[in-house]
Amino acid sequence: MVVQLGLMAWFVDRLIVHDQPVTLVATGAALALAVVVRSIGQWGQEMAGLQASHRVRRQVRRALLNAWASAGPVGLSSCDSGRLSSEWTEQVDSLDGYYARFLPQMILAVIVPLIILSVVAVQDWLAALFLLAAAPLIPLFMALIGMGAERVNQRHYESLARLSGHFLDRIRGMTTLQLFGRSVDAVEDVAAATDHYRRLNMATLRVAFLSSAVLEFFASVAIAAVAIYVGFALLGMISFGPADEMSLFSGLFVLLLAPEFFQPLRLLSQYYHDRAAALGAAAHLSARLVASDSLVPQAAQAQRQEPDSSGIRVSGLGVRYPNGREVLSDLDFELPSGQTLVVTGPSGCGKSTLLAVLAGFMAPSQGEARIRGQSPGSMPVGWMGQRPWLVPGSWRQNLRLTAPEASEGAMLEAIDRVGLRSVLDGLPEGLSTRIGEGGLGLSGGQARRLALARLFLTSSTVMLLDEPTAGLDEATEAEVIEGVRGIIGGQRLCVIASHQPALRALGDQHLALGSTHHA
Amino acid sequence: MRELRPWLGLLQRHRRQLAVGLVLMAATLMAGLGLLALSGWFITATAITALAWAAGLNASLNLYAPGGGIRFFALARTASRYFERLVNHDVVLRLLADIRVELFRKLLRAEAYSAKRLGSAAFLNRLVSDVDTLDNLYLRQIAPPLVALAGSLGAAGLIAVFAPALSLVVLAVLVPWLGVVTLGMAWWTRRHGAAEMEAAERLRSHALTELEGMAELSAAGLLSRDQNDLLGEDNAQRYRQMQQETSAISGQALNTLVIHLLVAALLLFASQAWQAGQISGAVMVLIPLVIMALSEGFLPLPRAFMRLGATEAAAERLNTQDGSQPDSSGQPSEVGLPENPTLTWSHIRVARGAPVVFEDFSLSVSPGERLVITGASGSGKSTLASLAARLTSPDDGQVMVNGNDGALFSLSEWRERISLLTQDAHLFNESVAANLRVGDADASESRLWRVLEAVDLAPLVASLDCGLETPVGEGGGQLSGGEGRRLALARVLLRSAPIVILDEPFTGLDEATAERVWKGIQHWLSGCSVVLMLHDSMPFIEADRVISLTAGRAM
């Protein structure tokens, strides 16, 4: 680039000052070559940045997934999954600008002005001084403005994540909003949230723009000063320093170089909001990574042991939630292999909490639980929560969620067991029939039974069922209970939380949890 | 490009601000152009004058006009760029807020469940990211090429003053090149762009699915496997992004190449013109410098147009929301709904889109009646409930109040009288109080406590650190199933509608709690017609009438 500009200045100088003919072809070729080299250099620089950003984002995504896994279902239950998924997608992507553009540009912003400055200094040290005088002010202003921008940006990212959670929540509750005639309020809510987002965004941008305007100002003033200085020097109106020796070549060369002196810094300030965006996102992401660290359940740290054939042993178990609510205390029981335990009790007594501990989703605050001689969470178990987990997709996809290798035959058998065979036979597309979000297209009971069928397909010999028949009518419930009966026994262990008398009959043991833990 | 039309239409609302922004953008580019060109001319002119003096000739040069011009351009460029950016971004963000609200309104008008059918993961993407993508449209894809075009014409015009032939060269190169870096770039990257957006949506929905099924997956020991799949998809997706980026980077490098080759060529041509005595030496320098300053206007184009495909895809998906059914019965009726309404399902036929088929079904609930409808899951209870609340409309027949067709009344009026607890009532990720106030926005705290008392939640809420202000988590995830259900029930009671339909209100409750809740809410239901949808009748419920429903038929 320097060469290109130098050649141009030299060319003009030759022609005008020395009135020498120059070979057009040679100069043209040299100029073209300089332009080509410049383009290739630019290409290489940007490609390298792209590669770096690619690698960084891969690592961050992996780390986030690890954080989710170690927080577990209970740790994440208080987080909005829309927000988490937007963290994983958009926020990680917003690191891109920083690694692909800002960082490389930062290095260039130091090196390129230095090169140009030294070239200019060789031509005319006074002009170099003009540039130098403008340059140090720039980082100073940038730093001053940058400090504010960072805070604003962090807020901006928080509000973006909250906004996307807010949207998802409102959309999921759209029917509820309609039923309560609150749609108009919700529209206003969305308007207010979006407007808040706009104002935050503008605050960020105003600062980002101010920093580039400052730079722009100094760059323009310096170029203007150089131009005027060179002009007067050429006229011989400035008589000190190197001004006397100014030739058209050096003057023009210096003038052409002057904007290029500021160009890397200007690009840097354009990429500045890439940096601010990345820092905002990074603060958010690292907070997530740290937060999940503190929630690592006991199981993740426990040593691996070979499972033995013993059953479940719970001794002195107590659980207290971070909000101060104690749901279980001093719980003891032992369930031999092959048996089924039915846990009963009023709602809120801790049935689900006990199951979560057994699944390894949360660590007890006192005592311990052992399944087949191991800490919970170190071996796969079958789990079914209070709300059946169904994804938009076919019946087949839903059945294979936790049993990826299940054969068609096994799937049909499982469906038979939960009493869905007659429903399936009525579907022209069979297992390929699609289910909408949240089990749309299935009745509440059918969704539950499909999730149960999936549980039957897994190979695990330990099953934890949280209210498996809630919301089912008597006839369907009986079918499901028949299905459950078909898979318990043998070496299998089963813990069912339920208050249905019909399910109680399946239990070899019963555990009644009291309701004294409310206060 | 057709997809973009509705959004271009929206731009018109802010016409004046957009015009101001555009003018400021052009002014910025022109000032930069003027600064460099005038400086080059000035220096060369001074050098020539100096040479003339040295040769003893009497040459004169006005120093102050160009000097002032240079200073003016320098300041003008800074100021116009700053204000241009502020004006443009503000108006674009305003526009985007308009779009979001408009979309949300459309979605609310859409028939019940159609929103669900689209899948929330896809939806979240649509609202947040598509709308943000449309941000590209004006600021990156409409204004910059216009400004670059204006700059090219301006530069050509300036050059034409001195050397008309060279200005034709400039136009012959820059105008087609503008087409290449905009439309050519968009054409080249379009295919990948659409695929990339689709893949991004799949990726997000996969992440969301994994988060929602975290319990099942981690219990089954399949979480790490699913996460590996997710990372694999992410790698593939990022590879696609890289291809796109590579195109943009190559486009930018080519851009530099073409513009600077043009600069070099112009210098050579101009030197010949100078030697031929057609132009002065200072102008010879001015000509290439003008184009060099212009390169700034071309710089952002390749990357912006790489994204045109994505912008179009986003606009297209947003457009599909336009197809939603309008709310045909929004007008308030002249009749007015009576205070003690009799609700009637009259000769209902439902055949499409429902799990249960109804054929000529009729049923009536008189004021103050306690009606229990029992039936297996899939017997059609929920269909009856959503018909009554006019969430869905029957294929034939009517839902009537005191003999008047429901369609005569506005939806808001209707729903003030009929309150429905659906099976999947949604709890918002807000506080207990905020969730309750969905039912009655003006409810006092003591009223909230009374209704919590009725559903047997008061002791639990009182025991929480933040009481009524405790957040309930996403979808009520911080509460147990039964607790969430009772909170949703409490919200329905706060509505104080004369007709209350409760679809499986006791899900997740043991019998003793269910009985306590039922007794507790009687006070709130006094004088109301109550329709209870249950899978089995419960011994503690004293009903005026019990109807058993089997596959859309009352027994």
Phi, psi (5° rounding) for residue B396? -155, 160
Residue A391: the pLDDT is: 81
The residue of chain B with its CA nearest to that of A248 is B47
Phi, psi (5° rounding) for residue B213? -100, 20
Asked if pLDDT for residue B524 goes beyond 80, the answer is yes
> Are B392 and B458 part of one and the same domain?
yes
Interface contact B238, partner A, CB < 8 A: yes
Interface contact A339, partner B, CB < 8 A: no
The 10 Å Cβ neighbour count of residue A405 is 8
At a CB cut-off of 8 Å and minimum separation 6, what does B132 contact? B96
Interface of B with A in 243-262 (CB under 8 A): 245-246, 249-250, 252-254, 256-257, 260-261
Answer yes or no: do A72 and B89 touch at CB < 8 A.
no
Interface contact A267, partner B, CB < 8 A: no
Asked if pLDDT for residue B156 goes beyond 60, the answer is yes
> Are B209 and B279 part of one and the same domain?
yes
**3-class secondary structure, B552:** coil
- The larger pLDDT score, comparing residue A277 to residue B161, is at B161
Instruction: Give contacts of A463 with chain B, Cβ < 8 Å.
Output: none
> Are B406 and B532 part of one and the same domain?
yes
Answer yes or no: do B535 and A176 touch at CB < 8 A.
no
- The larger pLDDT score, comparing residue A367 to residue B95, is at A367
Give the best-scoring range by mean pLDDT among A143-152, A256-265, A277-286, B238-247: B238-247
Residue B321: the pLDDT is: 59
Answer yes or no: do B253 and A471 touch at CB < 8 A.
no
What CATH number is associated with residue B115?
1.20.1560.10
Residue B313: the pLDDT is: 78
Tell me whether residue B146 is in a domain. Answer: yes
**What is d(CA A54, CA A46) in angstroms, rounded to the nearest whole number?**
12
Answer yes or no: do B43 and A346 touch at CB < 8 A.
no
> Are B77 and B143 part of one and the same domain?
yes
Tell me whether residue B338 is in a domain. Answer: no
Interface of B with A in 17-56 (CB under 8 A): 35-36, 38-40, 42-51, 53
Residue B359: the pLDDT is: 79
Instruction: Give contacts of A461 with chain B, Cβ < 8 Å.
Output: none
Confidence of residue A20 (pLDDT cuts 50, 70, 90): very low
Instruction: Give contacts of B218 with chain A, Cβ < 8 Å.
Output: 69, 72-73, 359-361, 377
Phi, psi (5° rounding) for residue A327? -105, -30
> Are B131 and B11 part of one and the same domain?
yes
pLDDT digits (tens, 9 = 90+) for A271-330: 766 776 777 778 778 877 776 554 444 444 444 556 677 788 888 888 887 666 778 888
What CATH number is associated with residue B465?
3.40.50.300
Interface contact B183, partner A, CB < 8 A: no
**Which CATH architecture fits A54-293?**
Up-down Bundle (1.20)
Q: What is the mean pLDDT of residues B1-19?
A: 76
Q: What is the mean pLDDT of residues A338-359?
A: 83
Q: What is the distance in angstroms between the CA of the first residue and the CA of the last residue of chain B?
A: 58
3-state secondary structure string across A335-382:
ECCCCEEEEECCCCCCHHHHHHHHHCCCCCCEEEEEECCECCCCCCCE
**What is d(CA B142, CA B14) in angstroms, rounded to the nearest whole number?**
15
Confidence of residue B500 (pLDDT cuts 50, 70, 90): very high
**What is d(CA A98, CA A391) in angstroms, rounded to the nearest whole number?**
35
**What is d(CA B262, CA B174) in angstroms, rounded to the nearest whole number?**
9
Answer yes or no: do A77 and B51 touch at CB < 8 A.
no
Alpha-carbon distance A438 to nearest alpha carbon in chain B (angstroms)? 8
> Are B102 and B229 part of one and the same domain?
yes
Interface contact A175, partner B, CB < 8 A: yes
Confidence of residue B324 (pLDDT cuts 50, 70, 90): very low
Tell me whether residue B337 is in a domain. Answer: no
Interface of B with A in 133-162 (CB under 8 A): none
A220: nearest CB among B67, B77, B249: B77
> Are B380 and B304 part of one and the same domain?
no
Supply the range of the domain harboring residue B308. 2-323
> Are B409 and B515 part of one and the same domain?
yes
Interface contact A187, partner B, CB < 8 A: yes
Confidence of residue B502 (pLDDT cuts 50, 70, 90): very high
Contact B498, B528 (CB under 8 A): yes
Alpha-carbon distance B390 to nearest alpha carbon in chain A (angstroms)? 9
> Are B296 and B418 part of one and the same domain?
no
With a threshold of 0.90, tell me whether the complex ipTM lies above it.
no
**Which CATH architecture fits A312-512?**
3-Layer(aba) Sandwich (3.40)
Structural domain tally of chain B? 2
Instruction: Give contacts of B262 with chain A, Cβ < 8 Å.
Output: none
> Are B348 and B415 part of one and the same domain?
yes
- The larger pLDDT score, comparing residue B551 to residue A207, is at A207
Query: Of A48-52, A87-91, B343-347, which range is least confident?
Result: A87-91
Alpha-carbon distance B282 to nearest alpha carbon in chain A (angstroms)? 9
CA A27 → CA A6, A11, A30, A296, B353, distances in Å? 11, 8, 5, 69, 76
Asked if pLDDT for residue A110 goes beyond 60, the answer is yes
pLDDT digits (tens, 9 = 90+) for B11-65: 777 888 888 888 888 888 888 888 878 887 887 787 777 777 777 766 666 777 7
Residue B501: the pLDDT is: 92
Q: What is the mean pLDDT of residues B147-158?
A: 88
pLDDT digits (tens, 9 = 90+) for B104-123: 777 776 654 454 444 555 56
Q: From the candidates A220, A397, A449, A465, which should be mutated to test the interface with B, based on the most B CB atoms within 10 A?
A: A220
Answer yes or no: do B117 and A437 touch at CB < 8 A.
yes
Contact A354, A371 (CB under 8 A): no
Asked if pLDDT for residue A479 goes beyond 80, the answer is no
Question: Rounded to 5 degrees, what angle do the CA atoms A168, B307, B156 make?
Answer: 140
pLDDT digits (tens, 9 = 90+) for B232-281: 988 888 888 888 888 888 888 888 888 888 888 888 888 888 778 777 77
> Are B295 and B364 part of one and the same domain?
no
Run of H or E including A434: strand A434-435
> Are B298 and B354 part of one and the same domain?
no
Asked if pLDDT for residue B289 goes beyond 70, the answer is yes
Alpha-carbon distance B6 to nearest alpha carbon in chain A (angstroms)? 20
pLDDT digits (tens, 9 = 90+) for A92-103: 887 888 888 788
Confidence of residue A486 (pLDDT cuts 50, 70, 90): low
Instruction: Give contacts of B46 with chain A, Cβ < 8 Å.
Output: 230-232, 234-235
What's the DSSP call for residue B222? -
Residue B302: the pLDDT is: 86
Alpha-carbon distance B273 to nearest alpha carbon in chain A (angstroms)? 12
**What is d(CA B509, CA B505) in angstroms, rounded to the nearest whole number?**
9
Looking at B288, B323, B358, the residue that finishes a domain is: B323
pLDDT digits (tens, 9 = 90+) for A154-199: 666 666 667 767 777 777 777 788 788 777 777 788 788 778 777 8
Asked if pLDDT for residue B337 goes beyond 70, the answer is no
CA B337 → CA A412, B389, B403, distances in Å? 52, 14, 11
Query: Of A445-449, B95-99, B320-324, B527-531, which range is least confident?
Result: B320-324
Q: In chain A, what are the domain boundaries? A: 54-293, 312-512
Instruction: Give contacts of A401 with chain B, Cβ < 8 Å.
Output: 213, 216-217
Burial class (CB in 10 A: 0-12, 13-18, 19+), A115: middle
Tell me whether residue B152 is in a domain. Answer: yes
